[in-house]
Amino acid sequence: MTAASAPAALPAGFAAGPQTDAVRARFAHVAMRSAPAPMAALSHGVGATVWDVDGREYLDFLAGIAVNALGHAHPALVAAVSEQAARLVHVSNYFTTEQAVGFAERLVRLTGAGESGRVYPANSGAEAIEAAVKLARRTGRPRILAFEQAFHGRTMGSLALTGKPSLRAPFEPMLPGVEHLPTDLDALEAAMGDDVSALVLEPIKGEAGVVPLPGGFLTAARELTARHGALLIVDEIQTGAGRTGDWFAFQHEGVVPDAIALAKGIGGGIPIGALVTIGAASELFSLGQHGSTFGGNPLATGVASAVLDEIERSDLVRNAARRGEQLREGILALASPLVTEVRGRGLLLGVGLDRPVASAVVAAAMDRGLIVNAANESSIRLAPPLIIGDGEIEHFLTIFSASLEAAT
Ligand SMILES: *Cc1c(COP(=O)(O)O)cnc(C)c1O
């Protein structure tokens, strides 16, 4: 193997098994060079546990980046995939299905969008944001405001909104009219005007290391956008579907946005996204102005409905709130000298570290059978499945404590 195709080194402290190494080497040959070296090659999972191709077991506290809301191989998801696959997988947007309509109705109900609520079904988070960008353009106003350090996706429209200059720079010129502000009400007030089409924001910046908006910020942003006739578009791609202990994070502050971008957890692992609009925003698109071949596909929408139904039936939204508090208290009680704070809400938590050792913590955790994520070098992101209970939390705290110690 040439040096150029060798897998990138994993952080010291985690040595993968031989089968994993073999798959990683093949990955390094065939994957686009934009793909990072995989931590492991996973084989199967049950609940909050996954196994790699060497048979090593891991407690999964990342859940495919806040995607596997029901964990792995949940019977409700398995049944929905199997039954829908045997019935009808795809029909194109020349037709509709009971599954597509039921999914849209469910999102309207859960978001509280009400009578004026409308849904555009997409296939990913970035596509939900692309729809939001086109929606903003339909106001006829040229400017879109977003925040520094925000993450909204990697396609050209969603990348333009993403507040990390290093991600945008290789692909300039960007979509014109987008401005990134510090997450600060004075900056927002100064930038806001009647030429602003939309403000796009995450209630909690997940990719930035789980950084919540300051208390009251969302309410103030709603007042300011309303005063100037600008849309407030909330990106709930990571925070939605019960993850933060409410169905959607905007509901904690009781604001009503104009549009909500969704993906990740709403499908429990099936690729799906959606843009939900409310009120006048539901009238901005006219016939034929947006669409997708796969969007609203009965397999994806049928499975997403089953996932959302199970979250409701088993009250996993409340479980996320309760387990999130339990986790936060448990982590703080470890009294690790590395841990400065636990940010976030429900089961989307960011553990702040006092030095840049997050990838060493991740490697130490992998070595001990735990998957967590280094959102950046001073933050560990936790986004376990919403189904976790006392057993998983206890197991997590034991391994996480040892991993922090190993990285100290
Ligand atoms: C993951 C994510 C996206 C992009 O979603 P993809 O499905 O990866 O395209 C956008 N916004 C937020 C907040 C996300 O967490």
Report residue 15's pLDDT band, with 50, 70 and 90 as the boundaries. confident
Look up the CATH number of the domain holding residue 61: 3.90.1150.10
Instruction: Find the catalytic residue in 52, 235, 258, 367.
Output: 235
Task: Verify whether ligand 1 is closer than 6 Å to residue 152 (CB atom).
Answer: yes
Give pLDDT, residue 12: 63
Q: Residue 14: pLDDT band by 50, 70, 90 thresholds? A: confident
Q: Residue 114 — left, alpha, or beta (φ > 0 → left; ψ -120 to 50 → alpha)?
A: left
Give the tokens for residue 83: 């039954």
DSSP, residue by residue, 283-337: GSS-TTSS--SSTT-HHHHHHHHHHHHHHHHTTHHHHHHHHHHHHHHHHHHT--T
Judgement on whether residues 223 and 370 belong to the same structural domain of the protein = no
Say if 4 falls within a structural domain.
no
In a shared domain, residues 357 and 257 = no
How far is it, in rounded angstroms, from Cα 50 to Cα 152?
28
| Predicted confidence (pLDDT) at residue 169 exceeds the cutoff of 90 | yes
Q: Both 123 and 51 in a single domain?
A: no
Q: What is the pLDDT of residues 54-89, one digit of tens each?
A: 999 999 999 999 999 999 999 999 999 999 999 999
d(CA 348, CA 209): 10
Same domain, 60 and 173: no
Task: Verify that 108 and 227 share a domain, yes or no.
Answer: yes
Q: What are the tens digits of pLDDT across the range 86-129?
A: 999 999 999 999 999 999 999 999 999 999 999 999 999 999 99
Cβ of 367: how many Cβ atoms within 10 Å?
19
In short, whether 210's Cβ falls inside 6 Å of ligand 1 is no
Show the domain range for 340.
18-73+316-406
pLDDT tens string 387-405: 999 999 999 999 999 999 9
Do residue 358 and residue 280 come from a single domain? Answer: no
Cα(152) to ligand 1 centroid in Å equals 5
For the cut 70, the answer to whether the pLDDT of residue 235 exceeds it is yes
Indicate if the pLDDT at residue 10 is higher than 90.
Answer: no
Q: Using the 3D structure, point to which of 314, 332, 350 is the last residue of a domain.
A: 314
* pLDDT value at residue 147: 98
The whole-chain average pLDDT of the chain stands at 96
- Is 176 contained in some domain? yes
Separation of alpha carbons 380 and 51, rounded Å: 22
Look at residue 244 and tell me whether its pLDDT is greater than 90: yes
Q: How many domains, the chain?
A: 2
**Is 13 among the domain residues?**
no
pTM over 0.95: yes
| Pair 47, 69 in one domain | yes
What's the pLDDT tens digit per position in 181-211?
Answer: 999 999 999 999 999 999 999 999 999 999 9
Say if ligand 1 is within 6 A of residue 263 CB. Answer: yes
* Residue 130, helix vs strand vs coil: helix
* Average pLDDT of the segment spanning 311-330: 98
Final residue of a domain: which of 249, 281, 314?
314
Residue 249: the pLDDT is 98
Euclidean distance between CA atoms 300 and 296, whole angstroms: 7
Q: Which residues are paired to 60 by β-bridges?
A: 371
The residue out of 314, 335, 354 marking a domain boundary is: 314
- Give dist(CA 31, CA 194) in Å, integer: 46
DSSP 139: T
140: left (phi over 0), alpha (psi -120 to 50) or beta: left
The whole-number pLDDT of residue 8 equals 47
Same domain, 257 and 332: no
Q: From the candidates 61, 151, 285, 396, give the one annotated as an active-site residue.
A: 151
**Beta-strand runs (E) in 228-270:** 231-235, 259-262
With respect to residue 5, please indicate whether it lies within any of the assigned structural domains: no
Beta bridge partners of 50: 45, 58
Condensed to tens digits (0 to 9), the pLDDT of residues 251-267 reads: 999 999 999 999 999 99
Please say if the pLDDT value at position 6 is more than 60: no
* Closest to 274 measured CA to CA, from 125, 95, 81: 125
Domain for residue 94, yes or no? yes
Whether 196 maps to a domain, the answer reads yes
DSSP string for 219-232 = HHHHHHHHHTT-EE
117 shares a domain with 46: no
pLDDT tens sequence across 324-367: 999 999 999 999 999 999 999 999 999 999 999 999 999 999 99
Residues 230 and 372 in one domain: no
Please indicate, yes or no, whether residues 222 and 359 belong to a single structural domain of this protein.
Answer: no
CATH number of the domain that 219 lies in? 3.40.640.10
Based on the domain organization, do 258 and 401 belong to the same domain?
no
Asked whether residue 111 is domain-assigned, the answer is: yes
Residue 11 pLDDT > 80: no
The pLDDT of residue 65 = 98
- 402: CA distance to ligand 1 center in Å? 31
Q: Is the dihedral of CA 19, 22, 24, 30 positive or negative?
A: negative
Q: Is 151 in the pocket of ligand 1 (CB under 6 A)?
A: yes
Residue 304 has pLDDT above 80, yes or no: yes
**Ligand 1 and 123: CB distance under 6 A:** no
Is position 202 within any domain?
Answer: yes
Q: Is 396 a catalytic residue?
A: no
When pLDDT is cut at 50, 70 and 90, the band that residue 4 belongs to is very low
Alpha-carbon distance of 319 to 346, in angstroms, equals 8
CA atoms within 13 A on the CB side of 399: 22
pLDDT in tens, 120-160: 999 999 999 999 999 999 999 999 999 999 999 999 999 99
Our answer to whether residue 235 is catalytic in this structure is yes
Contact indicator for 337, 354 with CB cutoff of 8 Å: yes
Tell me which residue of 189, 163, 155, 195 sits closest to 177, measured CA to CA: 195
